[in-house]
Amino acid sequence: MRLSTSMIGMALAWAAAAAAAGPLDKTECIAPAKPGGGFDLTCKLAQAALMEGRYIADPMRVTYMPGGIGAVAYNAVVAQRPDSAGTIVAFSGGSLLNLAQGKFGRYNENDVRWLAAIGADYGAVVVAENSPYKTLKDALAAVKADPTKVVFGAGGTVGSQDWMKAALTARAAGVNPKAMRFVAFEGGGEAITALQGGHIHIYSGDAAETVQQIKAGSKVRILAVMADKRLGGELANVPTAREQDVDVEWPIIRGFYLGPKVSDADYKVWSDTFAKMMATPAYDKLRSERGLYPFALTGPQVDAHVKKQVAAYRKLAEEFGLAVTAK
């Protein structure tokens, strides 16, 4: 069959378009959880910022892959979709903590390409509005005097981020974390309710989440944020733990990774795009609207940060006597 000039031209144009297709042409963000919550927020932030800045022509598709605070998605991407250049996957500090404890199965922090950190929340020490503890030092003094009379609570079990924040607070008071009283709840909302009801005395939660609870009418106070410096906005008057001579920091980063076999060229396209996007005032606005604080890293910088953080979490887990599976 003889092809007409127009048909040949169309075929060549199609081939050229296919060859020129890049990782930003058909994009997807995997949120490793059910709709709602931090992973969904992370994907939706990228979706909105990429579209608003016109870095992508078509809306980013968000898909949900719940299980193990990221474990199911991590295993699926590494084993089944390692070269999907258009797919980014959300991760959090909780994901890194689980990686450090070997909860992602046979894979570790070296098995994906860490792409970007796009914002952060921070740990917070929270009490009821009518609590006798007016400062972090007051709370630590009470824990030290009698750890059986001060009950910590949070939305997480032993070994989780929230438990770790409570454990660090107890250790700062000179108390072995194994001796502290800790009540695990399904989520931060339940813990806040218990705090207001006097069932627990200290909530080891997240700063941004607590601000939202206060705006919604919860009668609680933040004694300290676990940040390297004071946060802005509603928390500008809340001191850091370090300002109160308590050497505790707990950043909760949010970001993305790519499959391990995504090419260097496609990785660079994504990395450069995120770096450009996060340097704009428009992105600052979108991020702050979602309760996240500035924390922007891309490419080799985020890779180094993640691996350093996982190593630190692994050491911390061992110090607290938690099971750590060597990789």
How many CA atoms are closer than 13 Å to the CA of 222, on its beta-carbon side?
28
Contact 220, 196 (CB under 8 A): yes
Summary count for the chain: helices (H), strands (E): 11, 10
CA atoms of 165 and 89, how far apart (whole Å): 25
Domain boundaries, the chain: 24-120+251-319, 122-244
The whole model's pTM is what? 0.82
24-120+251-319 and 122-244, same CATH topology: yes
Please report the pLDDT score of residue 22 as a whole number. 86
Q: Which of 159, 200, 189 has its CA nearest to residue 68? A: 159
Token pair listed for 167: 């454990």
Contact 233, 157 (CB under 8 A): no
- CATH number for 24-120+251-319: choose from 3.40.50.1820, 3.40.190.150, 3.40.1160.10, 3.40.50.2300: 3.40.190.150
Q: Divide the 327 residues of the chain into consecutive groups of 10 and give the mean pLDDT of each group.
A: 48 40 90 86 95 95 90 95 97 92 92 97 96 96 95 88 93 93 86 95 91 90 95 92 94 96 97 98 94 94 96 92 69
Please report the pLDDT score of residue 3 as a whole number. 47
Please report the pLDDT score of residue 4 as a whole number. 52
Please report the pLDDT score of residue 189 as a whole number. 83
Return left, alpha or beta for 132; rule: phi > 0 is left, psi -120 to 50 is alpha, else beta.
alpha
Contact 155, 191 (CB under 8 A): yes
Tokens 């979108």 correspond to 286
Token pair listed for 142: 């009470």
Please report the pLDDT score of residue 131 as a whole number. 97
Tokens 């193990």 correspond to 68
Contact 77, 83 (CB under 8 A): no
Please report the pLDDT score of residue 325 as a whole number. 64
CA atoms of 158 and 124, how far apart (whole Å): 18
- CATH number for 122-244: choose from 3.10.440.10, 3.40.640.10, 3.40.50.1100, 3.40.190.10: 3.40.190.10
DSSP state letter for 255: E
- Residue 179: Cβ-neighbour burial (10 angstroms; 0-12, 13-18, 19+): exposed
